[in-house]
């Protein structure tokens, strides 16, 4: 099996009002390194792309990647670059990236420019940024590429923020990580499940993950039995909910469950938007200590008190939004 370690550089609109919401980031460079099953470098790939959506280089982008509009004008159209890249990758390669954005933006650009997807579904890959945190830090921190290079005392022979150079740095870091951490693969959600048959179930050493099909609303999603079920991530048996699912910030929901054999489980559901505007759920269940379980109870109580205080202020006419509108009306 080959490992395709790749990196993208992209451009964006200098004026938010002129941004194309279907392609907020237009890829202008693809760089990649292919490793064999022994983590040895086999070959590399590099391609500049001539932009067609945002032809003027964003000032920050130009400063970051050090390319000029004239240099990019000598690149190839995205369709040709993407097809060449996918041909170079082959059918057996597993993608590796620094963070989770590159695969999303690659697929978003492919959809926008009408490039047929040949990528697996569900698309499993290695997020080297996450693996670095698992191997060397606290499992939660997400560091910059340069930070990881410095941490591992790797040679900084090349510039950062060019696609092939960043792919090379990512490959060097990936080669340093103990292979026991490769059980912690990631799943790309851009191609989210369209039916119950396509829903994703994955079990890792300390947690489980479920990715649902799409729903028309959060109410529909949170009333689905499978979405809200709580099975132990270690034994797979149903776990009794000690705290029912409650809404946190944004579209996040939390719960606390109890497995007779393995103790407390923390549940988290993130409702994410699909490309068509519908919602799908990403649920994780993780084994936690009694102290961590207590923090979930505290979070629920804090949210209750906050909402209670908001209701009290609304009833007393102290809603800051309403007060702002009243004051604006008096000024006018």
pLDDT tens-digit series, residues 235-265: 999 999 999 999 988 889 999 999 999 999 9
Report the SS3 class of residue 28.
Answer: strand
pLDDT in tens, 145-184: 999 999 999 999 999 999 999 999 999 999 999 999 999 9
Predicted confidence at residue 97, as pLDDT, reads 98
pLDDT in tens, 78-137: 999 999 999 999 988 999 999 999 999 999 999 999 999 999 888 999 999 999 999 999
CB 211 within 8 A of CB 193: yes
Residue 312 CB contacts under 8 Å (≥ 6 apart), including other chains: 318
Whose structure tokens read 């799943």? Answer: 187
Could you give the domains of the chain? Answer: 3-186 (3.30.420.10), 194-311 (3.30.530)
Q: Tokens representing 168?
A: 């090379």
The span from the CA of 174 to the CA of 3, in Å, is 10
Q: Tokens representing 162?
A: 């060019």
Q: How far is CA 266 from CA 248, 261, 290, in A?
A: 14, 15, 10
């Amino acid at each position: 099996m080959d490992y395709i370690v790749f990196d993208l550089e992209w451009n964006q609109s200098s004026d938010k009002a002129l941004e194309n919401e279907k392609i907020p980031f237009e890829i202008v460079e693809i760089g990649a390194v292919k490793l064999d099953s022994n983590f040895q470098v086999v070959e590399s790939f590099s391609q500049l792309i001539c932009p067609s959506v945002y032809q003027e280089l964003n000032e920050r982008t130009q400063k970051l990647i050090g390319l000029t509009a004239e240099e990019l004008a000598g690149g190839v159209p995205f369709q040709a670059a993407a097809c060449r890249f996918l041909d170079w990758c082959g059918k057996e390669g597993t993608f590796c990236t620094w963070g989770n954005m590159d695969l999303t933006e690659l697929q978003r650009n492919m959809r926008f420019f009408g490039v047929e997807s040949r990528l697996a579904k569900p698309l499993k890959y290695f997020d080297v940024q996450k693996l670095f945190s698992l191997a060397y830090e606290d499992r939660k921190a997400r560091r910059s590429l340069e930070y990881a290079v410095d941490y591992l005392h790797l040679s900084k022979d090349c510039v950062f923020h060019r696609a092939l150079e960043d792919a090379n740095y990512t490959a060097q870091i990936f080669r340093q990580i103990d292979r026991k951490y490769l059980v912690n693969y990631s799943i790309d959600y851009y191609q989210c499940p369209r039916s119950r048959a396509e829903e994703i179930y994955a079990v890792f050493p300390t947690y489980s993950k479920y990715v649902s099909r799409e729903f028309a609303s959060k109410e529909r999603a949170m009333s689905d039995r499978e979405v809200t079920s709580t099975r132990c991530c270690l034994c797979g048996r149903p776990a009794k909910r000690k705290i029912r699912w409650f809404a946190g910030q944004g579209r996040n929901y939390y719960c606390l469950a109890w497995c007779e054999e393995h103790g407390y489980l923390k549940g988290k559901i993130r409702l994410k938007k699909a490309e068509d505007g519908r919602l799908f759920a990403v649920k994780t269940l993780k084994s936690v200590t009694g102290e961590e379980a207590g923090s979930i109870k505290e979070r629920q109580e804090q949210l209750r008190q906050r909402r209670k205080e908001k209701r009290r202020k609304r009833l007393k006419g102290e809603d800051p939004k309403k007060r702002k509108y009243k004051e604006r009306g008096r000024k006018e």
